[in-house]
Structure 1
Amino acid sequence: MLKIIYMTTMLIPTILMLKPKMLHLTTTAYAFLLALISLSFLEPSSNTHLYLDFTSAPLFVLSYWLLPMTMMASQHAMTKEPMQRQRALLVTLTLLQLFISLTFSAYSLTLMYIMFEATLIPTLVLITRWGQQAERLTAGTYFMLYTLTTSMPLLTMILFLNNTSNTPTLFMQTAQQVSQWTELMLWLACLAAFLAKMPIYGLHLWLPKAHVEAPIAGSMVLAAILLKLGGYGIIRMMQTLPTTKTDMFLPFIVLALWGATLANLTCLQQTDLKSLIAYSSISHMGLVIAAITIQTQWSLSGAMALMIAHGFTSSALFCLANTTYERTKTRIMVLTRGFHNILPMVTTWWLLTNLMNIATPPSMNFTSELLIASSLFNWCPTTVIIFGLSMLITASYSLHMFLSTQMGTSPLNTHTTPTHSREHLLMTLHTIPLILISLKPELVL
């Protein structure tokens, strides 16, 4: 386990010492090597300090799989920057990956909390230093305030648990019996931090801002991995905190499902492409929250599968949005019409990714949403109405996004450069795992 952590750490001095001509080639090759090595961890191994189990291993591998892709996606934008800034971006991405991998492989609550909070710093640097718009400082402030405010109760809770057990709380040990009110406070403190990170509807305002202002690498990491830290944290807490009845989670389940439908409706009125994809993430994470809080085997399997599937799908959508942005210099959907006449291969990728976002078989999204739908229906048959409505609106906004970015005639008379093989490789590496995992879903379930 420590081998891959050391290798990731050593990528930082490598980036700083490489010759400028070799920088992108070597770092991307190194990151691909790390991604291939990480695949061996899908068979979870354990040691006393860092360990992976069936919950953290798929997310750990997903984070390593996306590291080379974030580097590849940033290449075009980075070539115009001075060499120092190129190195700084690659170091920030590697540092973020290091903190994420340590969060997923943490053995105790304290280490997980420290690394969970440490991921804030590189993400904030990415948004504020490489963001594309004037409002990036506001987005960074929103991001910090929401995350730090809600994580303070989590820190208090972890200290309380450490004091009651006189040792750093491990995930496998259940907290000792406490009074009913203390138990309620522990649960609320824990849920606040992770629900804001997911984010649940109501604590979601930082997400569209952060996504819109972040560079492509920041958007990919945010959507694919950082949102999953919330879901992973809730699953871990359920192993540690005293078990409680599902009735306590009823407000959260209702808010998550209703919030997912409201986020989907918000998607229909978005004009900014990145903002639309960000709101679609909120709706998918709402389903994950509802599934995790039901606490049945099927719902947890569905939540894990949807987290992995959404990681690939939303990252692919951001890559496609970036491909359009690099050519038109705008993210307003009305101004990016008519691409299917100029770049038909990109239109094919758009169609494929949107179909996966709708959750059509045989993609992983379909498997996960089927598991979640059946577990929600078993828990309460009424939820099928909200779930069905949510699915209908998801299909509507996905088709609206596809038609409004590809069809019609382009209002811009700018010269469009053809697509690079780098962009096609990027999309292939997103879609192939999604289709292949659906053939062997026990890797992530």
Structure 2
Amino acid sequence: MMKILMMMIFMIPLCFNLNMFWMVQMMLFLLMFLFMNLMLNIENYCNLSYMYSCDILSYGLILLSIWICILMIMASENLYKSKYYLNFFLFNLVFLLIMLYLTFSVMNLFLFYLFFEGSLIPTLLLIIGWGYQPERIQAGMYLLFYTLFVSLPLLLGIFYIFNEMNYIMIYFLKFFNYELYLLYFSMIMAFLVKMPMYFVHLWLPKAHVEAPVSGSMILAGIMLKLGGYGLLRVMILLQKMGFMYNIIWIIISLVGGFYISLKCFCQVDIKSLIAYSSVAHMSMVIGGIMTMNYWGFMGSYILMIGHGLCSSGMFCLANINYERLHSRSLYINKGMMNFMPSMSLWWFLIMSSNMAAPPSLNLMGEISLINSFLSWSWMSMLMLMLISFFSAGYSLYLYSYIQHGKYYFGIYSFYMGLSREYLLLMLHWLPLNILVMKIDYVMIWF
């Protein structure tokens, strides 16, 4: 694990070299294949080195992080053309990747907290530095204060555990079970805001709408998964409390997911609609983890990987339209099938994955989550039906509104899709639908 970290650290000087934009991407591809070839022991932690290790949960999420960072560089060609603080952008991206890598691979709970919060800084710089509208400062503040408000209790909770047990290795937490209300709430809230759970989700649409395409991709692809990863790790420690209080989060996530799905139909901004759909999907993940059963843990992990690829792909599509029309409004983006028929196919493929059509990972994840909800209580069926139905509804709404209809006559110049963009979309879609063949790895990790 240390060798991967070293490779990333030594990529930082490359970022400040002139004309090394695509070289950084190639190095990340190399890193990706090196990491894929790690020997993985599925039952336990493996690849131990100093403070780092890897189990199947970390492995999938680190792989996703590297992959999304590669695609972020590919999507940000406009920065390369305009030379807009290019070296700092690359440095920011590699630094963010290092932070994410460390978050997913450290074994020490305090270090996990440190890198969990550390990944906030490069994201904030991405939004404020390369965002499009003046409101990006406000979006950055929302992101910062929502996250920091609940992260201090998490730190205190970690110190309390260390004080009691004298070690905070994540692997050993399973030998302890606490029955403390304050510890339970302080450990969980930080992850619920990061996910984001309904009621504390307001920073997400703000941040997404103001962020550049790379910021949106990393936010949707990885930052939301940090919360899920933290919950999966911490829930083992809080089982007794979980059996008493998890019902609160399950109810909030089911009702909130349904309400947010309805809210998607009210959006007129493409990015805003995709951001709200992320909240709806993540509410399913929260509920699945909170049911505390095998299917729930498994389904939430699969859906996190699936949603990371799918949501990132949707933000790429939105950006491709934005680069042509300089607007994210649904009304102006109408009738795109007339201009870019090939792009219409990619809209369809990625939208269909978003509504959990086979053979995408989202389908496997949602089936597992529905299993877990129903084994928890049959009454959750009603909300699950509504969430699944409306998730297909707003995906179709977005697709049909953008692709069909009369196009906006204000369009004065236009260019077709580039091969880079088609490749970018294919690299989102292929893993999302090919990984289903290797679903057995995920099914036995717990």
Q: Which amino acid aligns with 2:182?
A: M
The residue number in structure 1 matching 2:294 is 297
- In the alignment, is residue 124 of structure 1 matched against residue 121 of structure 2? no
Q: Which amino acid aligns with 2:130?
A: W
2:378 counterpart SS class: coil
Tell me, yes or no, if the aligned pair for 1:259 and 1:286 is still in contact at 8 Å: yes
Tell me, yes or no, if the aligned pair for 2:136 and 2:210 is still in contact at 8 Å: yes
Choose the corresponding residue for 2:218, options 216, 221, 226: 221
1:361 counterpart SS class: coil
The residue number in structure 1 matching 2:420 is 422
- In the alignment, is residue 322 of structure 1 matched against residue 324 of structure 2? no
Alignment of 1:190-269 (within 5 A): 190-241=187-238, 243-269=240-266
**How much does 1:175 deviate?**
6.5
Query: Which stretch shifts more, 328-337 or 374-383?
Result: 374-383
**How much does 1:149 deviate?**
0.3
- 1:25 to 1:353, Cα distance in 2 relative to 1, 3 A: same
**How much does 1:190 deviate?**
1.0
Residues in 2 aligned to 1:36 and 1:215: alpha-carbon distance in whole angstroms: 27
- 1:408 to 1:42, Cα distance in 2 relative to 1, 3 A: farther
Tell me, yes or no, if the aligned pair for 2:176 and 2:237 is still in contact at 8 Å: no
Q: Which amino acid aligns with 1:56?
A: S
Residues in 1 aligned to 2:206 and 2:268: alpha-carbon distance in whole angstroms: 14
1:239 counterpart SS class: coil
**How much does 1:162 deviate?**
0.9
**How much does 1:244 deviate?**
3.2
The residue number in structure 1 matching 2:384 is 387
The residue number in structure 2 matching 1:97 is 97
**How much does 1:297 deviate?**
0.8
2:214 counterpart SS class: helix
Choose the corresponding residue for 1:343, options 337, 340, 343: 340
CA RMSD of aligned residues (A): 1.4
**How much does 1:177 deviate?**
5.9
- In the alignment, is residue 136 of structure 1 matched against residue 136 of structure 2? yes
1:310 counterpart SS class: helix
- 1:344 to 1:190, Cα distance in 2 relative to 1, 3 A: same
- In the alignment, is residue 161 of structure 1 matched against residue 161 of structure 2? yes
1:413 counterpart SS class: coil
Residues in 2 aligned to 1:42 and 1:72: alpha-carbon distance in whole angstroms: 29
Q: Which amino acid aligns with 2:413?
A: H
Tell me, yes or no, if the aligned pair for 1:42 and 1:443 is still in contact at 8 Å: no
The residue number in structure 1 matching 2:280 is 283
Tell me, yes or no, if the aligned pair for 1:42 and 1:61 is still in contact at 8 Å: no
**How much does 1:246 deviate?**
2.2
Choose the corresponding residue for 2:430, options 415, 432, 435: 432
Choose the corresponding residue for 1:65, options 64, 67, 70: 67
Q: Is there any run of 5+ residues in structure 1 with no aligned partner, and where?
A: none
Residues in 2 aligned to 1:24 and 1:349: alpha-carbon distance in whole angstroms: 26
Choose the corresponding residue for 1:444, options 425, 442, 445: 442
**How much does 1:238 deviate?**
1.7
**How much does 1:134 deviate?**
1.0
* TM-score normalised by length of structure 2: 0.95
Residues in 1 aligned to 2:39 and 2:317: alpha-carbon distance in whole angstroms: 28
**How much does 1:245 deviate?**
4.6
**How much does 1:366 deviate?**
0.8
Residues in 1 aligned to 2:5 and 2:236: alpha-carbon distance in whole angstroms: 25
1:46 counterpart SS class: strand
**How much does 1:242 deviate?**
5.4
Q: Which amino acid aligns with 1:418?
A: M
Residues in 2 aligned to 1:215 and 1:188: alpha-carbon distance in whole angstroms: 34
1:51 counterpart SS class: strand
**How much does 1:176 deviate?**
4.7
Residues in 1 aligned to 2:430 and 2:176: alpha-carbon distance in whole angstroms: 45
Residues in 2 aligned to 1:243 and 1:98: alpha-carbon distance in whole angstroms: 35
Q: Deviations over 1:172-207 (max 9, x none)?
A: 2346565x4xx2211100111000000000000000
Tell me, yes or no, if the aligned pair for 1:176 and 1:242 is still in contact at 8 Å: no
The residue number in structure 2 matching 1:33 is 30
Residues in 2 aligned to 1:35 and 1:285: alpha-carbon distance in whole angstroms: 26
Q: Which amino acid aligns with 1:350?
A: W
The residue number in structure 2 matching 1:46 is 47
Residues in 1 aligned to 2:138 and 2:38: alpha-carbon distance in whole angstroms: 39
1:37 counterpart SS class: helix
Residues in 1 aligned to 2:330 and 2:285: alpha-carbon distance in whole angstroms: 28
Residues in 2 aligned to 1:390 and 1:112: alpha-carbon distance in whole angstroms: 33
**How much does 1:30 deviate?**
0.9
Q: Deviations over 1:154-183 (max 9, x none)?
A: 0000011111122344332346565x4xx2
Residues in 2 aligned to 1:124 and 1:43: alpha-carbon distance in whole angstroms: 34
Residues in 1 aligned to 2:18 and 2:335: alpha-carbon distance in whole angstroms: 41
Query: Which stretch shifts more, 370-379 or 227-236?
Result: 370-379
Q: Deviations over 1:413-445 (max 9, x none)?
A: 321111111101101111111111111112334
Residues in 1 aligned to 2:397 and 2:333: alpha-carbon distance in whole angstroms: 13
Query: Which stretch shifts more, 318-327 or 294-303?
Result: 294-303
The residue number in structure 1 matching 2:106 is 106
In the comparison of the two structures, how many residue pairs are matched?
437
**How much does 1:409 deviate?**
2.2
Residues in 2 aligned to 1:116 and 1:80: alpha-carbon distance in whole angstroms: 32
What percent of counterpart residues are identical?
Answer: 37
**How much does 1:100 deviate?**
0.3
Q: Which amino acid aligns with 2:429?
A: T
Residues in 2 aligned to 1:168 and 1:259: alpha-carbon distance in whole angstroms: 33
Q: Deviations over 1:74-128 (max 9, x none)?
A: 112431134xx00101110110000000000010100100000100110010010
**How much does 1:241 deviate?**
3.8
Residues in 2 aligned to 1:263 and 1:37: alpha-carbon distance in whole angstroms: 40
The residue number in structure 1 matching 2:400 is 403
